[in-house]
């Protein structure tokens, strides 16, 4: 079997500086594996899908195909609850909705993509990163390539070390939720806050000001 290549999250609408992704590729990698795995489960199984904040509210930076696939898996999980109850009551399903968890995902992303570590980024990758950061309003125009590499390395370490929920704590919350047969497992206080705010004002969740409200409550400081 050919392993699907992991796609990078991007938008799907062409624009002056858009990085356009193939939505079909994202769906093959992130969504269609869910029903495939579901069909292969055995007696007494527990399906646990780990999502991201992108399945609660879209990020301010376009990750359209990625976010849509995450929403799809979440919806698939909810639809499975009734399906399994009727056709496979011995199988349980849960969707994990985490907040900011202290992992090395930012540090390891380049390794997964077969690229050098952050501090050894190629000049072309630094240029793309510089453009992205400037689009976000960050003053990096006068920074040297090495200064950007160093800053991104420090941010990746801070993402891991300054998270409100550690990886070990997240694992405990997830396992406790599975043992309690919860189908909806929110991980971290920030995940609960994000869920509450989205439910309170669902239309506002798609506005740029929404994350300002979340950050004003002291959460999601690293989400852009």
| Per-residue model confidence as pLDDT tens digits over 193-207 | 888 988 888 888 888
Do the beta carbons of residue 42 and residue 64 sit within 8 Å?
Answer: no
| Predicted local distance difference test score (pLDDT) of residue 138 | 84
Tokens read off for 111: 């390794």
| Predicted local distance difference test score (pLDDT) of residue 61 | 63
**Mean pLDDT, the chain, as a whole number?**
81
Q: Which residues of the chain have pLDDT under 70?
A: 1-27, 29, 42-44, 55-62, 221-224
Find the helix or strand (DSSP H, E) in which 46 lies.
strand 46-50
Query: How many Å is the maximal CA-CA distance in the chain?
Result: 61
| Predicted local distance difference test score (pLDDT) of residue 8 | 45
Q: Cα–Cα distance between 161 and 66 in angstroms, integer?
A: 26
| Per-residue model confidence as pLDDT tens digits over 29-50 | 677 778 877 877 766 688 898 8
| Predicted local distance difference test score (pLDDT) of residue 224 | 47
What global pTM score does this model have? Answer: 0.77
Do the beta carbons of residue 189 and residue 169 sit within 8 Å?
Answer: no
C-alpha torsion 118→189→97→217, nearest 10: -70
């Amino acid at each position: 079997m050919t392993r699907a290549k992991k796609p990078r999250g991007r938008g799907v609408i062409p624009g002056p500086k858009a990085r356009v992704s193939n939505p079909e590729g994202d769906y093959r990698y992130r969504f269609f594996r869910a029903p495939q795995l579901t069909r292969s489960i055995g007696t007494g199984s527990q399906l646990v899908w780990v999502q991201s904040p992108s399945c609660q509210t879209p990020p301010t930076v376009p990750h359209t195909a990625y976010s849509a696939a995450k929403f799809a898996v979440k919806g698939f999980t909810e639809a499975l609850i009734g399906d399994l109850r009727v056709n496979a009551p011995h199988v349980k399903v849960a969707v994990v909705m985490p907040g900011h968890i202290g992992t090395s995902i930012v540090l390891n992303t380049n390794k997964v993509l077969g690229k050098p570590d952050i501090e050894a980024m190629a000049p072309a990758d630094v240029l793309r990163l510089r453009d992205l950061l400037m689009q976000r309003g960050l003053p990096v125009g006068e920074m040297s390539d090495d200064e950007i590499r160093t800053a991104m390395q420090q941010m990746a370490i801070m993402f891991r070390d300054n998270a409100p929920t550690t990886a070990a704590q997240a694992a405990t919350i997830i396992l406790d939720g599975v043992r309690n047969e919860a189908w909806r497992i929110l991980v971290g206080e920030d995940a609960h806050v994000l869920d509450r705010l989205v439910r309170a004002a669902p239309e506002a969740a798609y506005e740029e000001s929404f994350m300002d409200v979340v950050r004003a409550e002291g959460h999601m400081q690293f989400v852009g």
